[in-house]
Amino acid sequence: MNCCIRGAITAEENSKACIWENTKIMLSEIIKSNGLNIEDIISILFTCTRDLDATYPAVAAREIGIVDASLMCAQELYVEGSLKMCIRAAVTVETDKKQRDMNHIYLKGAKRLRPDIVNKSKIEAVAIDGPAGSGKSTVARLISKELGYIYADTGAMYRAVGLYCLDNGIGIFDDESIIKALPLININIEFDNGVQRISLNDKDVTEEIRTQSVAEAASKVAAIPEVRELLVELQRKIAENNKVVMDGRDIGTNVLKNARVKIYLDAEVEERAKRRCNELSEKGISFDYNNIIKEIIQRDDYDKNRKVNPLSVAEDAVVIDTTGLSIEQVKNKILEITKRK
Q: What pLDDT, in 10s, does the model give residues 143-159?
A: 999 998 988 888 899 99
Considering the chain, what percentage of its residues have pLDDT values greater than 70?
98
Task: List the single range of 109-118, 234-243, 314-323 with lowest mean pLDDT.
Answer: 109-118
Q: What is the mean pLDDT of residues 6-33?
A: 94
Handedness of CA 62, 65, 68, 74 (dihedral sign): negative
Considering the chain, what percentage of its residues have pLDDT values greater than 90?
57
121 — pLDDT class (breaks 50, 70, 90) = low
pLDDT higher at 117 or 15: 15
119 — pLDDT class (breaks 50, 70, 90) = low
- DSSP alpha helices (H): ranges in the chain? 16-33, 58-63, 115-120, 136-147, 154-167, 175-181, 212-221, 225-241, 269-282, 289-305, 327-340
Residue 194 confidence (pLDDT) above 70: no
Name the average pLDDT for the chain: 90
38 — pLDDT class (breaks 50, 70, 90) = very high
Residue 341 confidence (pLDDT) above 80: no
Confidence at residue 21, expressed as pLDDT on a 0 to 100 scale: 95
Confidence at residue 116, expressed as pLDDT on a 0 to 100 scale: 72
User: 125 with 260: CB under 8 angstroms?
Assistant: yes
Assessment of whether the complete model's pTM goes beyond 0.75: no
